[in-house]
């Protein structure tokens, strides 16, 4: 019965507390939001079911990050996966939900299988399920076994986190769930996988070979780029956001991977600093991605479509939602002085500071990783200019967008709270970084009491001797003052009222929404520049009335999903082919089965005699 003891079951170190904090910071506004979101969507019983599943989901996530027993951890992990599966297929109106749910549940169980394998290997050495016992046993593990355990954990948690190429389920499952669930899944659930990596790889297993960190960095860079490039091509607003989750998991893992690299190189300051950068981006991503999914849900609720090609002009119909989406878009594009900027700056600084301490080839490697992170943030900015510009600006492209109305108060309240957090986490960076230092210290076991990451409560200063500073409050003050001063001067000089007139139309006089730029055209330069990876193809068809007269023109363009086509479809084909083969030897005839048994017995007898 000793397992039921609370102390031996729960663990409340700063790392667990941090993740609990992330879970409830995002879930609370999402729950408030769901009051308005679920209204009118489904019957009373189904709404009650939605609430029940939501609560179960939160409890299971809370358990995942706070238990100290591998066995209970797995149970909580499995409950979390199953409940989220039910939430993905919750919206039964769409056929796609079932397909998305199936892909999700298969992928997540492949991940869990690897986790179970890793935990069993750990159990073999520790003879206990307790974290502390496993931690002490792991130091005695032979290096090959450690490497295998690490790879199993990476695949297991990587599937949940959505690391490329294990991300395949993410863009299907996240958009299909109701929006407040998408926001929790993207904002929080995939972060439990990061918790798993930090807890089991850094805290329990301990990092002592540098290739672990390098592997994670490489996977992270690939995830960043693949995620953002696919997001640029996507026109379903929730799918676009789901691909951005793949990208941002990559950015978080850049911080975590760097921390592992520096731990193995025995550089405690840099290890803690990198982990802080990763954790900071983790909570930031939870906030702004949670917010963006809620805004996408509001757009869906108001217009009944998720296709941004059919939207436009919503800033006039839904002014508040537009402001919240704009803030989220600015934060995810790492624009100062919001929170995404701070954590990307910290991650870049971790690379730059690390480069001073490492040798030769590692320097170039870190530089290239930093450059790829910069490319990612540039592409993300482009993607959100597209997402915000096409959805909210210009003229409505369909009647869905024309008839949109601002959403209910409870939905706006949820979005407001998260927008507020975006600003707070941007401006209070120097205070938050001190709290995160404690979390990083608990995760790595490094004493951080003598390390300083900020000059005072306003100015960040990693490695004070280098003279590198960043102060978001000061920056915000400067930008605001300059902007307001500019506006004041403008108002002083301005004597006449601006003329409101039509957009210049080259004398065409019939400018309407069909002349606007669309999301497809916006992303065309990117489609061409990255065509080596996207493999775009297009189909044009002339619809003729007669030989001489072309009545209309059909045009279609798509990109090839490389991972799906060249990795998953061949594997799936193999599974189906082997199943077909199995069917042949299992035709249902009792005579054949009897002969199988006879042959088996014969072989066994010969085997026993001979050997």
Q: Least distance in Å: CB of 527 to another protein?
A: 10
Between residue 543 and residue 582, which ones bind another protein under the rule CB under 8 A? none
| Smallest distance, another protein to C-beta of residue 201, A | 28
Q: Which stretch binds another protein (CB under 8 A): 197-205, 302-310, 348-356, 559-567?
A: 348-356
Q: Which of 35, 74, 335, 451 binds another protein (CB under 8 A)?
A: 335
- Specify the 3-state DSSP secondary structure of 561: coil
CB of residue 503 to another protein, shortest distance in Å: 4
**Binding residue (CB under 8 A) for another protein from 221, 334, 427, 439:** 334
Smallest CA-to-CA distance from 428 within 476, 481, 469, 480 is with: 476
Q: CA angle, 317 as apex, 312 and 323 as ends, to 5°?
A: 85
Question: What secondary structure letter does DSSP report for 502?
Answer: P
Q: Which of 349, 441, 444, 559 binds another protein (CB under 8 A)?
A: 349
Say whether residue 247 binds another protein (CB under 8 A): no
Q: Choose, by CB under 8 A, the member of 10, 24, 352, 568 that binds another protein.
A: 352
Tokens of 189: 């659930």
Q: Beta-strand (E) ranges in 4-113?
A: none
Peptide bond into 165 cis (omega under 30): yes
Q: Would you count residue 108 as binding another protein (CB under 8 A)?
A: no
Q: Which of 183, 444, 471, 559 binds another protein (CB under 8 A)?
A: 471
Q: How many CB atoms lie within 10 A of CB 602?
A: 10
Q: What one-character DSSP code corresponds to residue 69?
A: B
Cβ neighbour number for residue 407 with a 10 Å cutoff: 24
- Binding track, positions 473-492, relative to another protein; x by CB under 8 A: -xx--xxx-xx--xx--x--
* Choice between 294 and 334, CB closer to another protein: 334
Residues written for the chain: 611
Residue closer to another protein by CB (options 497, 539) is: 497
Q: What is the distance between the alpha carbons of residues 511 and 79, in angstroms, rounded to a whole number?
A: 54
Q: Write down the least CB distance from residue 398 to another protein, Å.
A: 14
CA–centroid distance for 596 within its chain: 51
Number of residues engaging another protein in binding (CB under 8 A)? 84
Looking at the DSSP assignment, which residues form a beta bridge with residue 556? 539
**Residue whose CB is less far from another protein, 319 or 445:** 319
User: Which among 45-53, 59-67, 408-416, 503-511 is the span making contact with another protein, rule CB under 8 A?
Assistant: 503-511
Burial of 186 (0-12, 13-18, 19+ CB in 10 A): buried
**Least Å distance between CB 466 and another protein?**
5
Cα–Cα distances in Å, from 43 out to 121, 303, 609?
A: 48, 21, 69
Contact 560, 536 (CB under 8 A): yes
CB 212 → another protein: shortest distance, Å?
24
- Interface with another protein (CB under 8 A), residue from 306, 516, 534, 559: 516
**How many alpha carbons lie under 13 Å from residue 391 in its C-beta half-sphere?**
33
Pick between residue 489 and residue 605 the one whose CB is nearest to another protein.
Answer: 489
Out of 195, 288, 325, 341, the only residue in the binding site for another protein (CB under 8 A) is: 341
In our burial notation (b when 16+ CB lie closer than 10 A, e otherwise), range 327-342 reads bbbbbbbbbebbbbbb
CB of 401 closer than 8 Å to CB of 254: no
Q: Are 182 and 175 in contact (CB under 8 A)?
A: yes
Please, what is the minimum distance in Å from the beta carbon of residue 568 to another protein? 29
- 511 scored as a contact of another protein (CB under 8 A): yes
Tell me which residue has tokens 């297991």: 156
Comparison of 79 and 423: residue with beta carbon closer to another protein:
423
Taking the complex as a whole, how short is the minimal distance between the CB of residue 473 and another protein, in angstroms?
Answer: 10
What character string, x for contact with another protein (CB under 8 A) and - otherwise, covers 355-394?
xx---x--xx--xx-xxxxxx-xxx-xx-xxx-xxx--xx
Question: Which of 272/394 has CB closer to another protein?
Answer: 394
- For residue 529, the minimal CB distance to another protein (Å) is 5
* Angle between helices 44-66 and 14-38 in degrees, nearest 10: 170
143 vs 361, which CB is nearer to another protein?
A: 361
Site for another protein in 297-316 (CB under 8 A): 313, 315-316
φ/ψ of 542, rounded to 5, equals -90, 125
Angle at 466 between CA 462 and CA 470, to 5 degrees: 45
């Amino acid at each position: 019965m000793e397992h039921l003891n609370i102390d031996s079951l729960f663990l409340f170190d700063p790392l667990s507390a941090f993740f609990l904090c992330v879970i409830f910071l995002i879930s609370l506004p999402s729950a408030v939001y769901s009051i308005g979101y679920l209204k009118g969507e489904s019957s009373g019983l189904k709404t009650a079911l939605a609430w029940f599943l939501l609560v179960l989901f939160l409890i299971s996530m809370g358990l995942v990050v706070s238990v100290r027993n591998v066995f209970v951890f797995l149970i909580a992990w499995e409950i979390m996966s199953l409940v989220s599966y039910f939430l993905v297929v919750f919206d039964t109106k769409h056929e796609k939900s079932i397909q998305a749910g199936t892909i999700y549940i298969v992928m997540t169980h492949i991940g869990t299988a690897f986790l179970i394998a890793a935990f069993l290997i750990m159990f073999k050495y520790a003879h206990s399920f307790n974290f502390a016992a496993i931690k002490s046993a792991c130091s005695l593990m032979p290096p090959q076994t450690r490497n295998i355990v690490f790879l199993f954990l990476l695949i297991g948690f990587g599937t949940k986190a959505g690391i490329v190429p294990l991300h395949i389920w993410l863009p299907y499952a996240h958009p299909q769930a109701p929006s407040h669930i998408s926001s929790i899944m993207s904002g929080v659930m995939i972060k439990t996988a990061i918790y798993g990596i930090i807890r089991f790889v850094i805290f329990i297993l301990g990092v002592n070979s540098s290739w672990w960190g390098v592997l994670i960095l490489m996977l992270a860079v690939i995830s960043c780029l693949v995620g953002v490039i696919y997001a640029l091509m996507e026109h379903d607003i929730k799918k676009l956001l789901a691909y951005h989750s793949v990208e941002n998991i990559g950015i978080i893992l850049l911080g975590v991977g760097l921390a592992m690299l520096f731990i193995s190189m025995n550089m405690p300051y840099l290890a803690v600093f990198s982990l802080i950068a990763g954790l900071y981006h983790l909570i930031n991503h939870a906030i702004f991605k949670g917010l963006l999914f809620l805004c996408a849900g509001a757009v869906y609720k108001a217009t009944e479509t998720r296709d941004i090609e059919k939207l436009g002009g919503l800033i006039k119909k839904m002014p508040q939602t537009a402001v919240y989406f704009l803030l989220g878009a600015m934060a995810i594009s790492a624009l100062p002085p919001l929170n995404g900027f701070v954590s990307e700056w910290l991650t870049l600084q971790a690379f730059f500071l690390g480069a001073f301490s490492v040798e030769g080839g590692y320097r170039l490697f870190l530089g290239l990783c930093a450059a790829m992170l910069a490319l990612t943030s540039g592409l993300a900015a482009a993607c959100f200019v597209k997402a915000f510009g096409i959805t909210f600006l210009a003229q409505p492209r369909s009647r869905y967008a024309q008839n949109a109305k601002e959403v209910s108060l409870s939905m706006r309240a949820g979005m407001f709270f998260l927008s507020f957090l975006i600003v707070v986490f941007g401006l209070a960076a120097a205070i938050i970084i001190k709290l995160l230092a404690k979390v990083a210290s608990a995760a790595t076991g490094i004493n951080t009491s003598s390390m300083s990451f900020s000059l005072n409560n306003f100015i960040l200063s990693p490695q004070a001797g280098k003279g590198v500073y960043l102060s978001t409050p000061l920056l915000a003050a400067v930008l605001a003052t300059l902007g307001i001063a500019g506006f004041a001067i403008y108002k002083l000089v301005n004597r006449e009222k601006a003329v409101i007139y039509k957009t210049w139309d080259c004398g065409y006089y019939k400018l309407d929404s069909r002349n606007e730029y669309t999301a497809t055209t916006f992303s065309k330069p990117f489609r061409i520049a990255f065509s080596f990876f996207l493999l775009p193809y297009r189909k044009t068809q002339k619809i003729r009335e007669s030989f001489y007269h072309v009545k209309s023109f059909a045009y279609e363009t798509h990109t090839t999903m490389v991972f799906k086509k060249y990795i998953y479809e061949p594997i799936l084909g193999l599974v189906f082919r082997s199943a077909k083969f199995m069917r042949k030897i299992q035709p249902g005839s009792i005579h054949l089965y009897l002969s199988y048994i006879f042959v088996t017995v014969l072989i066994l007898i010969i085997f026993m005699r001979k050997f």
